[in-house]
Structure 1
Amino acid sequence: MNSAPATSDSHPPAPIWRRLMAMLYDSLLCIALVFVVTAVYTGLHKLLINIGLFSDRYATIAEPGGSIGYDPVLTLVLAGSLWLFFGFFWRRAGQTLGMQTWRIRVENADGSVVSWSQALLRIVAGVLSWATFGLGWLWQWLDPQHRSWTDRLSGSRTVQLPKRNKKQ
């Protein structure tokens, strides 16, 4: 699906507390994703060592009690996994599971879903926002359109959705 139904400008910007609660919810999912991806990666890594496709240097790292070194491939795999996680949800409907719970959505000005490159820019801006002790999120209080760094850098916006009417 390339775009969500277009929305009007009537949706207000999502308040910071809703964004933070959605981030908390999604961080739990991301932690689980990182554990699963690391376990699969480690299992494949060990398998490749056992069949002789990796050198002794990698075998030493993988041994119990062996020196734990930095693995740039694992770092790239984890970063890619998180980009795919957020990109999948943002491209599908503009919402991660946490965002659905807190009724917020990421969208372009015309209401369409963000692109893969916008998803990557949002992630980079999110990392920068946290690296500056949350300044990127607090920025929305200074911005006339209440956009955070993630919104501004990616050219998108985060809006609050209305409550759905329950059908009886």
Structure 2
Amino acid sequence: MTVESQERPSLKRRMAAFMYEGVVLFGVVFATAFLFGTLTQQRHALKGQHALQAVLFIVLGVYFAWFWTRGGQTVAMKAWHIRLVDLQGQPLSRLRALARYCLSWLWFAPALLSVWLIGVRSTGAIFSALLAGVAAYAMLSRLHSSGQFLHDVLCGTQLITQKPVKR
């Protein structure tokens, strides 16, 4: 079956998978931070925070690249029947998966950059900026003819509906 004949998931389903992914990633981030803190004998949360952020960036990149190159679905994407493929409907290469991971930070980068430039320190204001940035980024997909997210357009990837195989 060609990609053109594949049903594309709605924005609502993609955002539901996005939220579910956040729940799954909470566990990944928690386990990584715990292991990092234990191995480095970190005694204070602010000491070594940049090293922890770098480790988390790498761990999350490995997480996504691993799932995207092996079946095109993370745990959350499987639950919502969404699959990631290239424009020809083929699985992603490692390089394309890593490029998509880096570009997927467009979800958060503009909001984080703006609060940093303005000097905002309030957790509530930062959270609000992130929420507004995510909503704005999601709405940008409405401008694309096939409804794909910007990072998918830039990487030559697309999300398609992956119906479960009937037994």
Report the TM-score range of the alignment, normalised by the length of the smaller protein.
0.7 to 0.9
1:3 aligned residue? none
2:54 to 46, 59, 76: 76
Structure 1 runs of 4+ with >6 Å offset: none
> TM-score scaled to structure 2, two decimals?
0.76
2:101 to 89, 104, 123: 123
2:77 aligned residue? 99
- State the 1:99 CA deviation: 0.6
1:147 aligned residue? 148
- Structure 1 distance, partners of 2:25, 2:85, is 21
- Structure 2 distance, partners of 1:164, 1:78, is 34
Asked whether the 8 Å contact 1:122–1:154 carries over to 2, the reply is yes
- State the 1:133 CA deviation: 3.5
- Structure 2 distance, partners of 1:28, 1:93, is 21
Query: Does 2:16 align with 1:21?
Result: yes
- Structure 2 distance, partners of 1:37, 1:7, is 39
- Structure 2 distance, partners of 1:144, 1:68, is 45
- Point out the structure with the larger helix share: 2
- SS where residue 65 of structure 2 aligns? helix
- SS where residue 5 of structure 2 aligns? coil
Question: Percent identity over the alignment?
Answer: 24
1:55 aligned residue? none
How many residues are paired up?
A: 144
CA RMSD, Structure 1 to Structure 2 (Å)? 2.0
Query: Does 2:107 align with 1:112?
Result: no
- State the 1:33 CA deviation: 0.6
- SS where residue 4 of structure 2 aligns? coil
- SS where residue 133 of structure 1 aligns? helix
Output one character per residue of 1:74-125: Cα deviation in whole Å (capped at 9) or x when no partner: 1111000001111111000000011111111110122211223322332333
- State the 1:149 CA deviation: 1.1
Name the larger-Rg structure. Answer: 1
Query: Does 2:29 align with 1:34?
Result: yes
